[in-house]
């Protein structure tokens, strides 16, 4: 995994950081928003894979939030 920087949502568009396209130029991505988190993946993403992504990402978000709650308490 490589951190690319901060993407911003502006006027209904997701604006990617400058580092996003440095190594490889990719034109199209499938975008998913789950619990306020945006995930970009290379197409095509099958319906089965979409369900798996949603399940795994939701679990990951919940685990992360639980960890943060544990730190705060």
Residue 1: inside a domain: no
Q: One digit per residue, pLDDT tens: the chain, 73 residues?
A: 677 777 788 888 888 877 776 656 657 788 887 777 778 888 888 999 988 988 988 888 889 888 888 887 6
Residue 44: inside a domain: yes
Residue 45: inside a domain: yes
Residue 57: inside a domain: yes
Residue 2: inside a domain: no
CA nearest to 40, candidates 49, 32, 50, 52: 32
Answer whether 0.75 is exceeded by the pTM: no
CA separation for the pair 23, 34 (Å, rounded): 27
CA nearest to 24, candidates 44, 6, 42: 42
Domain count, the chain: 1
Show the domain range for 24.
8-72
Degrees, nearest 5: CA angle 27-10-44: 30
Residue 3: inside a domain: no
CA nearest to 7, candidates 22, 21, 17: 17
Residue 64: inside a domain: yes
């Amino acid at each position: 995994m490589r951190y690319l920087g901060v993407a911003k949502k502006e006027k209904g568009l997701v604006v990617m950081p400058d580092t996003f396209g440095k190594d490889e130029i990719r034109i199209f991505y499938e975008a998913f928003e789950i619990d306020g988190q945006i995930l970009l993946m290379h197409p095509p993403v099958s319906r089965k894979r979409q369900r798996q992504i949603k399940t795994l990402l939701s679990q990951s978000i919940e685990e992360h939030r639980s960890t943060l709650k544990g730190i705060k308490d």
